[in-house]
């Protein structure tokens, strides 16, 4: 049910260590005005819909299908929100969920810890966030990473995100860190809009001086989630295991974690950290996720480390719902820790394809009843 693509021995050791453990599931919500660029993302049919995506996903993740949400799940171009996958697992396995507001334009209607961040401006401005905000969010990430680890002794934390437009900010941060990421990132579109992303990123990168440090890079072209999760990964890795839950965005967080730890002399344990995603991301023919993971130690500026990249082999090919079958056509792919949740279900209770599919379809059936 899972496959390891890079650093296979390290990945196997991590899985052996944390098999049978109940994790804590953390999700950092954030927003970048990059998401409002027409066509940049399929996580919400219109730019207006995309303003609400993180709030809607957070409510569904926390409360489930029967709850009447303040922010209903937005209509997508095709497919269904990946939060259905994450909710199926956290509900089925009773995994504790912790939500964090890293910087949203609207306050989510869930018990979320407000980290005192702010939504990011479009990365094309080269002035996405104030440097003081980025430093503050790093501090918050370090504090909460330590607290989350204390909730998961002898276990691991799943560090997930919900940031629409986040693969574009990921491309910007990776490139600014000196990593060749062009043409390698993913998107929620069936065919990745590499050209559009790269044009936006180039606009932002021209504002960054060559000697910019990692926090200055995030302030210029990043989003609020990235630096929070980097801080959380650094602090949590000292005390427990960590799954960075996602594809392109988490490879950017991993690269940022490495760069920040070097620049600020912060101790962390890379052997405790894996990147966990879905097969649709890891094997996306229009992206190059495995290549991107292997590029992380080839940075021109910050000598990095290649993380173990692991995916769930979950398939929706035999689903009775066309919204789920859309994943097999390349829509949606990942988000809100969906891939890592499935990896956790396998590690904790040995859930196989049939159990996962039944639990996810049950979520969709209940959601359709409520609508």
Confidence bin at 339 (pLDDT 50/70/90): very high
The pLDDT of residue 277 is above 80: yes
Residue 303: the pLDDT is 82
**The Cα angle at residue 287 between residues 246 and 358, in degrees rounded to 5:** 50
The residue ranges of DSSP E strands in 193-347, in sequence order, are 241-245, 273-278, 309-312
Alpha carbon 276 to its chain centroid, in Å, reads 9
* Distance, CA of 201 to CA of 70 (rounded, Å): 34
Interval 77-126: pLDDT, tens: 789 999 999 999 999 999 999 999 999 999 999 999 999 999 999 999 99
The residue ranges of DSSP E strands in the chain, in sequence order, are 2-4, 24-30, 97-103, 112-114, 156-162, 241-245, 273-278, 309-312
Query: Are the beta carbons of 27 and 99 closer than 8 angstroms?
Result: yes
The arithmetic mean of pLDDT across residues 17-39, rounded, is: 97
Interval 190-208: pLDDT, tens: 999 999 999 999 999 999 9
User: Could you tell me what percent of the chain has a pLDDT over 90?
Assistant: 92
Alpha carbon 236 to its chain centroid, in Å, reads 17
Residues 6+ positions from 354 with CB-CB distance below 8 Å: none
Confidence bin at 226 (pLDDT 50/70/90): very high
Confidence bin at 371 (pLDDT 50/70/90): low
The model's pTM is 0.98
Residues 6+ positions from 252 with CB-CB distance below 8 Å: 169, 170, 171, 173, 174, 181, 226
Helix (H, G, I), strand (E, B) or coil at 299: coil
User: Which of 306, 287, 284 is closest to 295 using CA atoms?
Assistant: 306
Tell me how crowded residue 368 is: count the other CB atoms within 10 A of its CB.
12
What mean pLDDT is reported for the chain? 96
Concatenated DSSP letters of 293-327 = HHHGGG-SSS---PPPEEEE----TT-S-HHHHGG
Phi, psi of 215 (to 5 degrees): -70, -35
Residue 369: the pLDDT is 84
**Strand pairing category for 24-30 and 2-4:** unpaired
Q: How many residues does the chain have?
A: 371
Interval 145-181: pLDDT, tens: 999 999 999 999 999 999 999 999 999 999 999 999 9
The arithmetic mean of pLDDT across residues 304-330, rounded, is: 96
Query: Are the beta carbons of 182 and 175 closer than 8 angstroms?
Result: yes
* Distance, CA of 17 to CA of 336 (rounded, Å): 24
The pLDDT of residue 365 is above 90: yes
């Amino acid at each position: 049910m899972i496959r390891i693509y890079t650093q296979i021995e390290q990945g196997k050791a991590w899985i052996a260590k944390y098999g049978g453990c109940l994790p804590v599931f953390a999700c950092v919500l954030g927003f970048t005005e990059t998401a409002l660029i027409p066509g940049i993302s399929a996580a919400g049919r219109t730019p207006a819909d995309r303003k609400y995506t993180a709030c809607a996903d957070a409510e569904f993740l926390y409360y489930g299908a029967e709850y009447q949400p303040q922010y209903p799940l937005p209509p997508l171009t095709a497919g269904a929100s990946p939060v259905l996958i994450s909710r199926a697992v956290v509900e089925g396995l009773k995994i504790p969920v912790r939500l964090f507001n890293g910087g949203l334009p609207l306050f989510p209607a869930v018990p979320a810890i407000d980290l005192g961040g702010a939504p990011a401006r479009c990365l094309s401005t080269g002035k996405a966030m104030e440097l003081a905000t980025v430093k503050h969010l790093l501090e918050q990430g370090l504090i909460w990473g330590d607290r989350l680890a204390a909730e998961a002794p002898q276990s691991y934390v799943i560090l997930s995100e919900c940031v629409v437009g986040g693969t574009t900010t990921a491309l910007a941060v990776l490139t600014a860190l000196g990593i060749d990421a062009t043409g390698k990132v993913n998107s929620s579109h069936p065919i990745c809009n590499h050209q559009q992303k790269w044009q936006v990123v180039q606009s932002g990168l021209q504002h960054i001086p060559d000697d910019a440090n990692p926090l200055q890079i995030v302030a210029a072209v990043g989003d609020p989630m990235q630096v929070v999760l980097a801080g959380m990964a650094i602090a949590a890795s000292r005390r427990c295991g960590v799954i960075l839950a996602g594809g392109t965005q988490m490879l950017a967080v991993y690269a940022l974690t490495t760069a920040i730890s070097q620049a600020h002399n912060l101790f962390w344990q890379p052997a405790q950290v894996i990147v966990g995603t879905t097969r649709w991301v890891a094997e996306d023919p229009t992206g190059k996720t495995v290549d991107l993971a292997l590029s992380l130690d080839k940075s021109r500026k910050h000598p990095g480390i290649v993380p173990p990249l692991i995916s769930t082999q979950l398939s929706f090919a035999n689903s009775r719902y066309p919204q789920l079958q859309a994943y097999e056509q390349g829509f949606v792919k990942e988000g809100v820790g969906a891939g890592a949740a499935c990896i956790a279900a396998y590690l904790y209770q040995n859930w196989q394809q049939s159990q996962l599919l039944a639990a996810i379809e049950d979520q969709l059936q209940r959601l359709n009843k409520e609508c």
